[in-house]
Chains A and B, each alone.
Chain A
Amino acid sequence: MNSSVKTESLDSLLAACDRLAGKYRIFAPTLEDAVTGFRPLDAMTKEQRKAVDAIAFANKPPVTSVKSFFFPDSEIYIKFSREGRAVTQMDLDVCAPQIILGAKSCDVRSVELIDKVFLAGPIDTMYQERRQKTIVIATVCHEMGDNCACQEFGVSPAASAADVLMAKGCRGDIYLTPQTVKGEQLVQELCTVGSFAVCASLPIPVFDGAVEQLVAEQVQARMDKSFDSPVWERLAMTCIGCGTCTYYCPTCHCYDIRDFSRRDQGVRYRTWDSCMFLSFTNMAGGHNPRPTRADRLRNRFFHKLNYFVKKQGELACVGCGRCAELCPVGISISSVLKQIGSDLHES
């Protein structure tokens, strides 16, 4: 494994990134109107650039996950124009190479989980292209945030399979440790445009194992037993049926396909959709296999804690805590796990 490089500050790293702007679109987490999220480095104000440090190294992920980089909330894949009965398809812009600077372990892991959906046959080529053209630089967390449950779901706050691991030393110097071929190439590129020195890696924070990890098969089995439990009706009573949990969840991947046209021009695009909406499975004629909120709520949690385990062998949650923080009525995957019972962890 290649050794690390370091540079004297985050500013120095960002300056090096600026010099690569001709080749890559670089995104970093910052604040916009008091909301955390990823923004392009070349479109940031001075204040936003200054804010990157605190947010990239915070012990929790930003509000928007990195899902949008691979699976955007709206993506056109056919553009056409019509003349009489003839329809011509137009070329689309190709995805530019991009760097995500400052992702968290939970989000990095979430991409591995949705890879299992999009990169399984038939391969989703739009997702695949974005995956191939994106380099992920992840930061480490030194402790778990308020709503974080990463360790319960087998995600280490301090280690991930990102292309590059980024850590901050006590003097504010930034350490980059490449972990993949892509990462190695990027670090070399950065070294040629910035002032970096080869060094020993910073020790990764160790988490003492105080948090017990959930066992996927046990959770799945408990869910099977809880199918007819009154807990779903109970939760559905206060759920307002919006799509917040699904859209901010980094492992949710449901989408809709729509056509949009005006006169002689149009597009076909895909867009995020939510299984929490009544219209998700509603058919012409009024038939709906999940007509009540309880049906939909139960289906969502079964997908995360049961169906995905049966199909892919893993729980479809990385414990990022966004559902807990953003749900307007305080329903989260942790509260569901509590409700369905104990003995779900390794002893």
Chain B
Amino acid sequence: MNPNPLLPVKGAVTNVICESRDVKTFQIKPENLFYHLPGQCAMLSLLGIGEALFSITSPPGRDYLEFSIKRVGKLTEALHQLGVGDEIGIRGPYGNGFPIEDLQGKNLLFIGGGIGLAPLRSLVQYAIDNRALYANKLHLVYGARSVEDLLFERDIRGEWPKERDVQVNLSVDVPHQDWDGFVGYVPQYLEQLPLDPENTVAVTCGPPIMIKYVLKTLEKLGFPPEQIVTTLEYKMKCGIGKCGRCNLDEYYVCKDGPVFYLSDLLKIKNDFCK
């Protein structure tokens, strides 16, 4: 008899990193670790409070899974109370993940805003881990509200810039006395950087308003929709394409997404939330 796909398995919290005042990264070891693709998600569950879908921010190949969680409501508040050794329910992996085969041999332009860097991070790290397949340029443009809100400092300022042919450009919305980088919004920053759509795929995640302007800018720069990848955020409950809630035309965002090529999204009739 198959296991009930809605039942979470037990996991233990093995590390907690405070990224910013409202974001924490949790390292979780489930009883049975599952393999995932970059961009896939999992349901984190606290019995008595609820479940929600979160992107897995660590790449495959580790013996743990990492989730970066922003404190916005009842469940995330309760998750933030967890410490090392605490139990948590987990089920997954869900979603289609990034098109990692299509991206091989291409220049990759990652554009992230705020917590949107979390799903991108699994892909960036995966590309670095498998550099032979992703030998071309890796370029990250990432912006947050303020210096304090920049996430994954150990990656964006530590490890990643050290790698060969990896460029990291950071921006913040509001100036800070210790900040001498770009001040402004990510779409604005993009216009100032030398970006070439030739053999490049742009992968972008962030708040809807940022995505809207990023897409406009990418269009201006000559990126065709077939070379732009983004993720959609929808209310989800089952995560397995049965409860009917997250449908977008005939697709279920939890199963057929949340990663989509812009060229596919443009064919969709319904309005959607990015």
List the interface of chain A (C-beta within 8 A of B). 77-78, 80, 82, 85-87, 89, 117-118, 122-126, 128, 227, 253-259, 261, 266, 268, 270, 273, 275, 280-285, 287-290, 295, 299, 302-303, 306-307, 310-311
Known: A227-B269, A266-B48, A289-B273. A284 touches B72 (CB 8 A): yes
Of all chain A residues, the one with the shortest Cβ separation from B238 is A257
Interfacial chain A residues near B49, Cβ < 8 Å: 259, 261
Compute how far the CA of A259 lies from the CA of B7 in the bound complex, rounded to whole angstroms.
Answer: 13
Of all chain B residues, the one with the shortest Cβ separation from A127 is B242
Q: List 17 A-B contacts (CB under 8 A).
A: A80-B47, A86-B87, A87-B47, A87-B87, A118-B242, A255-B242, A256-B237, A259-B47, A261-B48, A270-B6, A270-B243, A280-B245, A281-B235, A283-B235, A289-B270, A289-B273, A295-B270
Compute how far the CA of A253 lies from the CA of B267 in the bound complex, rounded to whole angstroms.
Answer: 26
Complex partner residue of A82 from B2, B48, B208, B242, CB under 8 angstroms: B48
Q: How far is the CB of A240 from chain B (nearest CB, A)?
A: 21
Q: Does B51 contact A (CB under 8 A)?
A: yes
| A-contacting 9-mer, from B18-26, B122-130, B194-202, B247-255 | B247-255
Q: Contact between A287 and B244 (Cβ–Cβ < 8 Å)? A: no
Of all chain A residues, the one with the shortest Cβ separation from B83 is A85
Interfacial chain B residues near A253, Cβ < 8 Å: 242, 244
Q: Contact between B5 and A125 (Cβ–Cβ < 8 Å)? A: yes
Compute how far the CA of A277 lies from the CA of B244 in the bound complex, rounded to whole angstroms.
Answer: 13
Interfacial chain B residues near A284, Cβ < 8 Å: 72-73
> Taking chain A's interface residues, is the majority helix, strand, or loop, or is none over half, making it mixed?
mixed
Interfacial chain B residues near A82, Cβ < 8 Å: 47-48
Compute how far the CA of A302 lies from the CA of B268 in the bound complex, rounded to whole angstroms.
Answer: 13
Interfacial chain A residues near B50, Cβ < 8 Å: 257-259
Q: Does B86 contact A (CB under 8 A)?
A: yes
Interfacial chain A residues near B271, Cβ < 8 Å: 289, 295
Interfacial chain A residues near B86, Cβ < 8 Å: 85
Compute how far the CA of A259 lies from the CA of B51 in the bound complex, rounded to whole angstroms.
Answer: 9
Of all chain A residues, the one with the shortest Cβ separation from B76 is A284
Q: Which of B7, B47, B238 has the most CB of A within 10 A?
A: B47
Q: Contact between A77 and B6 (Cβ–Cβ < 8 Å)? A: yes
Compute how far the CA of A93 lies from the CA of B248 in the bound complex, rounded to whole angstroms.
Answer: 36
Known: A123-B5, A126-B4. A281 touches B237 (CB 8 A): no
Q: Contact between A257 and B237 (Cβ–Cβ < 8 Å)? A: yes
Q: Contact between A255 and B237 (Cβ–Cβ < 8 Å)? A: yes
Interfacial chain A residues near B6, Cβ < 8 Å: 77, 124, 126, 257, 270
Compute how far the CA of A137 lies from the CA of B1 in the bound complex, rounded to whole angstroms.
Answer: 26
Q: Contact between B235 and A273 (Cβ–Cβ < 8 Å)? A: no
Count B-side interface residues using an 8 Å CB cutoff.
Answer: 37
Of all chain B residues, the one with the shortest Cβ separation from A279 is B235
Interfacial chain A residues near B270, Cβ < 8 Å: 289-290, 295, 299
Q: Does B35 contact A (CB under 8 A)?
A: no
List the interface of chain B (C-beta within 8 A of A). 1-7, 47-51, 72-73, 86-87, 208, 233-235, 237-238, 240, 242-250, 269-273
Known: A281-B234, A283-B273. A289 touches B248 (CB 8 A): yes
Compute how far the CA of A259 lies from the CA of B47 in the bound complex, rounded to whole angstroms.
Answer: 7
Q: How far is the CB of A191 from chain B (nearest CB, A)?
A: 31
> Taking chain B's interface residues, is the majority helix, strand, or loop, or is none over half, making it mixed?
loop
Given A253-B242, A270-B243, A303-B244, 11 extra CB contacts under 8 A:
A78-B47, A122-B240, A123-B5, A126-B6, A255-B237, A257-B237, A281-B234, A282-B235, A285-B72, A290-B270, A295-B271
Compute how far the CA of A253 lies from the CA of B240 in the bound complex, rounded to whole angstroms.
Answer: 13
Compute how far the CA of A80 lies from the CA of B45 in the bound complex, rounded to whole angstroms.
Answer: 13
Interfacial chain B residues near A303, Cβ < 8 Å: 244, 247
Complex partner residue of A125 from B2, B47, B73, B243, CB under 8 angstroms: B2
Q: Contact between B5 and A124 (Cβ–Cβ < 8 Å)? A: yes
Interfacial chain A residues near B246, Cβ < 8 Å: 281
Q: How far is the CB of A128 from chain B (nearest CB, A)?
A: 8
Q: Contact between A254 and B245 (Cβ–Cβ < 8 Å)? A: yes
Give the 4 A-B CB pairs with smallest separation, nearest first: A254-B244, A307-B250, A261-B48, A122-B5
Q: Contact between B1 and A125 (Cβ–Cβ < 8 Å)? A: yes
Interfacial chain B residues near A256, Cβ < 8 Å: 237, 243, 245
Compute how far the CA of A268 lies from the CA of B50 in the bound complex, rounded to whole angstroms.
Answer: 8
Interfacial chain B residues near A285, Cβ < 8 Å: 72
Interfacial chain A residues near B240, Cβ < 8 Å: 122
Compute how far the CA of A86 lies from the CA of B245 in the bound complex, rounded to whole angstroms.
Answer: 32
Q: Contact between B234 and A283 (Cβ–Cβ < 8 Å)? A: yes
Complex partner residue of A122 from B2, B244, B247, B250, CB under 8 angstroms: B2
Compute how far the CA of A284 lies from the CA of B50 in the bound complex, rounded to whole angstroms.
Answer: 15
Interfacial chain B residues near A288, Cβ < 8 Å: 273
Interfacial chain A residues near B273, Cβ < 8 Å: 283, 287-289
Compute how far the CA of A94 lies from the CA of B6 in the bound complex, rounded to whole angstroms.
Answer: 16
Q: Contact between A273 and B48 (Cβ–Cβ < 8 Å)? A: no
Of all chain A residues, the one with the shortest Cβ separation from B94 is A122
